[in-house]
């Protein structure tokens, strides 16, 4: 029998439909009486809705310049506003970009941080912060980074565009996939990873054709929550490291980059005996897998009509070798060793958009 360690982060989560109305009481629970509301330029209306619910005397200002990959100069500007307004808390409303900004502000200032996610990114569940400065993205893990409270309201997802629903949902599945073969995995996280993946795999095809399906929205958000807990509880491996490398260096969109790389990183790691058990369990929750997790992931992409590649996201071909160099410059834990030729072939295939497969000789 395996010996394992499970560490649980302590923060409050409110989950359901119409829960946004509980925001005033949640702020009281964390003793936040004056907050800065964070959002992207695209979500000002939602931030204003939040401000209306808690009142302008509590939501004293809105900072709407959150952007992907959490550039440090944006964080500097937001911290300055928080200091000028004298707030004792922050409320982030949005996806990973806004949540990341909230984390960055909180770890710098010690301000309490309440998250209201509007995508399935899962960042709100993790003690991980990725920041970009001078074209390089670095990540760090600190228990103080994890938000104080999280409010999930399925109503906020009704206007999420279908393509973002799919991409964000696959991003969440990526968290669970890596948790299944993380070096510090444990049975608790394995259960969360499989249940989270199963929920998203069932919900995403429904939402693609009926984006107002209440049950599917609920199931997708539930799955994303579980997958986010996986990401925050175990070490990240090849997939996430490559996404951070490519996203920060080439300014690629976060969710779409995860979508492109996931099948290829999965295929790379499926080729080692160390992941055999994890791959078998993953295959069990992927329809059409026939016992092969890579085949099951490819089948899911076909069902969802996903056809993305790094080239189409704006990455130049010469970036392939640059990405390999950066990825190998900072060694990290992965079930299969980081081999230059294999990593290069993985990124090349993701750049062209070729189908992932562990029968690829150049990967072995």
Q: Where are the domains of the chain?
A: 12-157, 162-363
Q: CA-CA distances (angstroms) from residue 41 to 124, 129, 185?
A: 20, 21, 38
Of the candidates 123, 122, 151, 203, which has an alpha carbon nearest to the alpha carbon of residue 17?
A: 151
| Residue 135: predicted pLDDT | 78
> How many Å apart are CA 235 and CA 196, to the nearest integer?
18
Residue-wise pLDDT tens digits, 126-165: 898 989 998 788 888 898 999 999 999 999 999 999 999 9
Instruction: State how far Cα 180 lies from the chain centre.
Output: 16
Residue-wise pLDDT tens digits, 19-34: 999 999 999 999 999 9
**Fold of the domain built from segment(s) 12-157:** Rossmann fold (3.40.50)
Residue 361 has pLDDT above 50, yes or no: no
Q: What is the mean pLDDT of residues 231-240?
A: 89
CATH class as words, domain 162-363:
mainly alpha
Residue 248 has pLDDT above 60, yes or no: yes
Q: What is the CA radius of gyration of the chain?
A: 20
């Amino acid at each position: 029998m395996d010996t394992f360690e499970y560490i649980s982060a302590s923060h409050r989560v409110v989950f359901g439909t119409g829960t946004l109305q509980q925001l005033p009481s949640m702020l009281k629970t964390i003793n936040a009486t004056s907050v800065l509301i964070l959002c992207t330029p695209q979500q000002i209306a939602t931030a204003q809705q939040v401000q209306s619910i808690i009142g302008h005397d509590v939501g004293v200002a809105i900072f709407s310049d959150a952007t992907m990959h959490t550039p440090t100069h944006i964080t500097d500007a937001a911290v300055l506003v928080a200091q000028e307004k004298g707030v004792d808390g922050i409320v982030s409303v949005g996806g990973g970009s806004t949540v990341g900004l909230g984390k960055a502000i909180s770890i710098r200032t010690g301000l309490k941080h309440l998250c209201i996610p509007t995508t399935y990114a899962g960042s709100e569940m993790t003690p991980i912060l990725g920041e970009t400065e001078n074209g390089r993205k670095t990540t760090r893990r600190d228990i103080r980074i994890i938000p104080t409270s999280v409010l999930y309201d399925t109503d906020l997802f009704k206007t999420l565009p279908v393509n973002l629903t799919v991409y964000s949902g696959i991003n969440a599945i990526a968290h669970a996939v890596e948790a299944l073969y993380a070096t510090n995995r444990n049975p608790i996280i394995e259960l969360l990873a499989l249940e989270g993946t199963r929920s998203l795999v069932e919900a995403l095809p429904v939402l693609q054709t009926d984006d107002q399906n209440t049950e599917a929205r609920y199931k997708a958000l539930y799955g994303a929550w579980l997958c986010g807990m996986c990401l925050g509880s175990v070490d990240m491996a090849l997939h996430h490291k490559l996404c951070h490398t490519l996203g920060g260096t080439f300014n690629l969109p976060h969710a779409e980059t995860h979508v492109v790389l996931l099948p290829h990183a999965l295929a790379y790691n499926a080729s080692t005996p160390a992941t055999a058990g994890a791959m078998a369990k993953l295959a069990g929750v992927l329809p059409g897998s026939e016992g092969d997790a890579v085949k099951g992931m490819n089948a899911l992409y076909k069902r969802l009509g996903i056809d993305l590649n790094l080239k189409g996201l704006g990455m130049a071909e010469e970036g392939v070798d640059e990405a390999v160099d950066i990825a190998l410059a900072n060694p990290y834990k992965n079930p299969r060793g980081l081999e230059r030729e294999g990593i290069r072939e993985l990124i090349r295939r993701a750049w062209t958009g070729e189908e992932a497969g562990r029968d690829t000789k150049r990967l072995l």
